[in-house]
Amino acid sequence: MMGIGVVEQNSKEQFVKRNKLAICATLRDLQKNDITVMVNHARGQFISKILDVLPDDNLFVFDLGGVETENSLALYAGDLAFVAEPAGAKVEFKSSIARTVNFQGLQAFTVQVPP
């Protein structure tokens, strides 16, 4: 008998996107639809939005959180987990090692497009 967690994981697997173009399209949809993204890390979490997707550079840009200490913690957290729920369909992905960039005159984070 399979446990619920195993069944849940197997059903999620059918929706996993592994193609870079499909992943970038999903990120762009989150950006275009102005969907809020929860960014979690070992030291905390914050709410953000995707600002730009740069597939040629294998990067995407997202907004800093509202609290400076949370932003500092995120910079040194290593792995970041992102969760969004557009129209009831949960989107989850991970990336690592954020850095800050200047985006349209304001500070923002950038990380690699998830694999």
pLDDT of residue 18: 65
Q: What is the pLDDT of residues 73-105, one digit of tens each?
A: 998 888 999 999 988 778 999 998 789 999 999
Largest CA distance in the chain: 56
The structural domains of the chain, ordered by start, are 34-112 (2.30.110.10)
Q: What is the pTM of this model?
A: 0.82
pLDDT tens digits for 18-51?
688 889 999 999 999 999 999 999 989 999 999 9
Spatial separation of the C-alpha atoms in residues 8 and 14, rounded to whole Å: 11
Residue 67's identity, in one-letter code, is: V
Give, for 91, the enclosing helix (H) or strand (E): strand 91-96
Alpha helices by DSSP H, listed for 1-115, are 4-13, 20-32, 68-75
- Which region holds residue 108: left if phi is over 0, alpha if psi is between -120 and 50, else beta? beta
Task: Determine the pLDDT at residue 16.
Answer: 63
Paired with 53 in beta bridges are: 60
Q: State residue 17's pLDDT score.
A: 67
Q: What is the pLDDT of residue 13?
A: 52
Q: Per-residue confidence at 2, pLDDT binned at 50, 70, 90? A: very low
